Amino acid sequence: MSDRHSAKRPPRPDDRPIVVAAEGSRDDRVRPFSLERVPVRGRIVRLGPMLDEILALHGYPEAIAGQLARLSALAALLGSMLKTKGRVTVQARGQADAPLSFMVADYRAPDGPGEAAGLRAYAAFDEAAAARLDEDADLVAWCGSRGDLAFTLESGPKAERWQGIVPLVDGDLARAAEHYFEQSEQIPTRLTLAAGRRGTALAGWRAGGLLIQHMPTGGNEEREADTDGWPRVQMLFETLRADELLDPVLDDDALLWRLFHEEGVRVFAPVPLAHRCSCSRDKVCAVVAELSSDEREHLIGEDGAISVRCQFCGRAYHLDPSDFATVEQGG
Ligand SMILES: [Zn+2]
């Protein structure tokens, strides 16, 4: 969110609806919206307390925490576009010798109406190499020039799997994600992400993201004649500053109104988000069963149990090696 935002900024009013004691937190949710005068749909995400839960599980350097926070916001934006139950996973994959070898965030659709969607994330990095990088280093510096971004969708009744891979365009997560939309959906898309510590006395982590898409006009003559519509909306989009996206006092609806009120904003039911890991004893057993007996041997601790720790949530699983020996004899 740097240079392109400072270039040209049309004036816009600073006044906005006064939000009096908003009920409950407006953080940790995705708000879908559409514009009335232009065929644009979008969504905005704000992550607050949930992000501290995710990041506190691992001792990440600040710069890695920032990248992971943005990746989490991206996964929430994309995941909330799922029309059915399913999962969206976004992975930044570094080349072999990169400071950041791997970073993943995944979104699991809510189990039912009113339920929260699950979000989890973690990063694997080389501590010494990470310490040598600047805090504002871009993703290419972190992952190497051969690093990439992989988007995996699992949805539908049979959990069909679809994967798209794009390069780390400009070393920027949002630009790479825009590139992904150009390739996969061929719908003009703009996306921006921000992360940082803000607001509270404890200076908790915050992240935000805004995505807009120019939809087909559907034969609407008035909209077709408005050839300036999409460029106009993009100019408004470009006025958005990182500090607005991270401002804990400015809620998502007030921010949408501030940006797009001239185009008419309609908001839809928000998707609440919760930090949730989907690991389980059964899933861990299935993974361990796939390993060779040598690999399993390496996982046996002093207590004689196979010890496996979930990389996302840190939960430890202790399994009895004899359970797997039987499987091997049988196979
Ligand atoms: Zn877990």
What tens digit of pLDDT does each residue of 173-225 get?
999 999 999 888 889 999 999 999 875 555 789 999 999 999 987 777 777 77
Give start-end residues of each CATH 3.55.30.10 domain in the chain: 3-15+25-275
Each residue's pLDDT tens digit, 129-176: 888 888 788 999 999 999 999 999 998 778 789 999 999 988 899 999
Cα-to-centroid distance, 56 and ligand 1 (Å)? 14
> Does pLDDT of 294 surpass 80?
yes
Pairing state between β 148-155 and 86-93: antiparallel
Which token pair is 67? Answer: 């990248």
CATH of 281-330, one of 3.40.1130.10, 3.40.50.920, 1.10.10.10, 3.90.1280.10: 3.90.1280.10
- Measured in angstroms, how far is the CA atom of residue 105 from the centroid of ligand 1? 12
Q: How far is 118 from 276, CA to CA, in rounded Å?
A: 5
Residue 317 CA, ligand 1 centroid: distance in Å: 10
Nearest CA to 84 out of 29, 157, 32, 33 is that of 157
Average pLDDT score over the chain? 87
How much distance in Å is there from the Cα of 279 to the middle of ligand 1?
A: 4
Higher pLDDT, 5 or 52: 52
- Domain 3-15+25-275 classification at class level: alpha beta
Measured CA to CA, the distance from residue 185 to residue 151 in angstroms comes to: 13
Beta strands per DSSP E along 176-256: 189-197, 205-214
The confidence score (pLDDT) of residue 2 equals: 42
Distance 217 CA to ligand 1 centre (A): 44
Threshold 0.75, pTM exceeds: yes
Token readout for 135 is 């805090």
* 288 CA from centroid of ligand 1 (Å): 15
Confidence (pLDDT) at 226: 79
How confident is the model over 115-127, as a mean pLDDT? 94
Judge whether residue 52 has pLDDT over 70. Answer: yes
In contact, 84 and 155? CB cutoff 8 Å: yes
CA nearest neighbour of 42 among 90, 71, 80, 7: 80
- Residue range(s) of every CATH 3.90.1280.10 domain in the chain: 281-330
What is the pLDDT, as a whole number, of residue 328?
A: 45
* Least confident window among 45-49, 68-72, 299-303: 299-303
Q: How far is the CA of 328 from the centre of ligand 1 (A)?
A: 26
pLDDT digits (tens, 9 = 90+) for 216-259: 877 777 777 778 999 999 999 999 999 999 998 899 999 999 99
Instruction: With both helix axes pointing from N to C terminus, report the angle between 173-184 and 62-79 in degrees, rounded to the nearest 10.
Output: 30
What is the whole-number distance in angstroms between the Cα of residue 113 and the centre of ligand 1?
A: 24
pLDDT of residue 220: 78
Contact at 8 Å (CB) between 190 and 42? no
- Tell whether the model's pLDDT for residue 302 goes beyond 70: yes
For residue 31, give the nearest of 226, 260, 313 by alpha carbon: 260
- Report the DSSP beta bridge partners of residue 275: 119
Q: How far is the CA of 278 from the centre of ligand 1 (A)?
A: 6
